[in-house]
Amino acid sequence: MEKISKSVSNLRSNFNILLLAAKDSQNNVLSATEAIGDLSSINQNTQFEEIVCVSYIPKNEVINAIVKIKQASGYGGNACSKGTFEYVRFYFDYDRNGNWVDEGVTNFNAHSLGFDEDLCYNVQLKIDPDKRRCCDKKPVLPKVRAILSWNAAPPANQPNWTPYWGNVIERNVQIEPLRGFQCFFDDFVLYPKFKKIDTILKKNNLLPDFKNISIKDQVEIIKKHKIPATRFGYASAIKKINSQDATPFALPGYLNQLDFDFSNILDFLLKPKFNTTYEELTCVALNRAMTTLHGTIHLKKSAGYSGNLCQTGSKEYVAFYMDFGSGWEYMGTSSITVHNISEIPKDGLNYNAALAVDLDKKRKEWCESGKAKLKGILSWNVAPPINQPNHVAHWGDWEQCHVEVKSLPKGIIPGNLSLNIETLGSMHIDDIDQTDGLANGSDALGLSMNAEESPFDGKINFTGSLINGGSTALEYRLVITPPSSGSYNLLNHVTADKIGFSGEETLIPDADGWMPYTKFVGNYLGYFIPTQSGMHTIKIEVRNAGSATLLLTGNSTNFMAHKEAPVADVEITSGAGNCGSFKPGDVISGEYKALSEYPRVMSFVATPSPESNSGVISIDGVPGNSISYNDIVAPGKTGTWELATNNMPQCGYNIRLSVYDRTIMHSKNITRHATDIEGFCLIPK
């Protein structure tokens, strides 16, 4: 663990103050921070955190990053606190020509846990790739840029932005191609419509099968790329040995056409040692939110993987082990399918193998985070034997890192059965005030959403996890109590990804709202769409599926629903008024209304740009084009505005008022707004 100097420690602990000062330097705020230091001295500082791996799961369109936390403190508080946030924003360059597409941002909260070891965290983001091609065409191999930033989210659509704390890395990934009759849609440029069909095909496991590589192609590739016998004959030899068949080794058909010396491969098998010529395991980590283990697999060659993207290919297996203090425990084995790709970039491709695990019995009480050592063993085309943590794979290697085992939710006793709602509308339950039902703080799912006394509307999602459920089949239901009527059971179908990234599953409630509990990715429980504003209550109930015995009544929480969109109204009252004509240089004035029960920000803008750029807007006599939440209270604001048109050329213009409220919409963002526009012309008179 790297030692931190006093000057760097001061910069870290006062980062928010310094960040504010840097943004407001024109008002001499910097004078108050001169004794602390200059933010420019910590550009891309990786002493506290560092993004070390980026990888992709083609089948499920999930981009992953592994972040290493490198200090025992410096993260805003212990496990009882909210800690601080580590943000990762992903950019994809699909054509590898410098045209970066912002695919979004995710985060996790880090804490000062006091551990001596580095800790490895996985974060992930599901994307909708911009490009896919048929498997027999040029593969889509984007370059991915990942930007890690502590306590300040990287701004959107700025791929060249660099963080103060954190770093930027680039890696290459492979987008899942189309196969078989899927290519019909690609050929006829119907891909946007095909996406919906593709989702149905994946959900119902109706994708075309891969083709087996022909003997002729296999031989040609082996000769062209000089693939050694220990590689192309490896799986066949292992299969023969494991069969315990004492008959002479029978070569597969294609091996008879090659100069194959079986004694060489026997010597290779008898003296195992890690070989990373073709693939290497570069990182392992735990995703706390999903309770999944992850391994980053780096492919280095264009061939040696038993088939192209239209063909079967081969498997990269990762066996995971964890040591909680009493020795290695086998957690399971995951795999991904890889292929020969002749266009592979020089620095290779990066894939992710994920495994869902149950760590409930290893979790301590609230506020007591634990740790474990994690090991992944990579083995090409032959699964590593189970319960052998020191297994040496002939093709592959192993990687280790410590991980944090998060504590149980507040109020849950170790060993007790629990199924609680943990997030509502993507916000932690603890961040929703039970008096007014409004949310505050950062979201729980890495969406970079920051609530400020925010109500909810749209599709309100609920997540929660079953703890210590054992093997008993359980059912649950969600009960809603709206503000003006009695309670009723939610009857919505619940569709989500399965944990383990193997497709979707849909739960259908019975007439009383009961559904079988199934662990989904993200622990998705259900959703509710309010039809009226006001305070609502949601609670969860659990019962034994066989006996229908109510086992417990889970937690309940209040939340405020807000259905009314904000109101925006702008009028030109000077001169010729709305749609009137003015002279360049005139000061145009008017009135406005920006109304909402939960206002966030209002802003004026003159369009089009750049013609309007020289105009100066004032609101209520103060220069500036926006007013933020801190200066607006319900039911909003009314007043006057002005636009000084000095140096604006002759043109037709609009003055646009936008009013945003603080409502969390569809569990995704805070975007609800209203606009109003009035036009005018600047012409000589």
* pLDDT, mean of residues 230-257: 66
* pLDDT, mean of residues 217-229: 83
Compute CA 596 distance to the chain's CA centroid, rounded to the nearest angstrom. 32
Domain 418-561 fold: Immunoglobulin-like (2.60.40)
Query: How far apart (Å, rounded) are the C-alpha atoms in residues 457 and 432?
Result: 14
Q: Provide the pLDDT for residue 98.
A: 95
Q: Using 50, 70 and 90 to split pLDDT, how confident is the model at 97?
A: very high
Above pLDDT 70, what percent of the chain?
A: 86
Q: Provide the pLDDT for residue 257.
A: 60
- In words, the CATH class of domain 567-682 is mainly beta
Whether 299 has a pLDDT exceeding 60, the answer reads: yes
The residues pairing with 552 across neighbouring beta strands, listed in sequence order, are 542
Whether 197 has a pLDDT exceeding 80, the answer reads: no
Q: Provide the pLDDT for residue 230.
A: 82
Above pLDDT 90, what percent of the chain?
A: 59
pLDDT digits (tens, 9 = 90+) for 524-565: 999 999 999 999 999 999 998 888 888 766 789 999 999 999
User: For the chain, where do the domains classified as CATH 2.60.40.10 start and end?
Assistant: 418-561, 567-682
With beta carbons less than 8 A apart as the criterion, state whether 532 and 482 touch.
yes
Q: Using 50, 70 and 90 to split pLDDT, how confident is the model at 37?
A: low
Residue 610, preceding peptide bond in cis (omega within 30° of 0): yes
Q: Provide the pLDDT for residue 293.
A: 97
* pLDDT, mean of residues 495-509: 74
pLDDT digits (tens, 9 = 90+) for 600-639: 999 999 999 999 999 999 999 999 888 776 666 778 889 9
- The pTM of this model reads 0.83
Query: How far apart (Å, rounded) are the C-alpha atoms in residues 603 and 674?
Result: 11
Range 169-182 burial, b when 16+ CB lie within 10 A, else e: eebbbbbbbbbeeb
Residue 608, preceding peptide bond in cis (omega within 30° of 0): yes
End-to-end CA gap in the chain: 73
- Which of 338, 286, 279 is CA-nearest to residue 139? 338
Range 255-265 burial, b when 16+ CB lie within 10 A, else e: beebebeeeeb
Return phi, psi of residue 365, to 5°: -65, 160
Burial of residue 340, with CB atoms counted within 10 A of its CB: 0-12 exposed, 13-18 middle, 19 or more buried: buried
Whether 185 has a pLDDT exceeding 50, the answer reads: yes
Query: How far apart (Å, rounded) are the C-alpha atoms in residues 374 and 119?
Result: 10
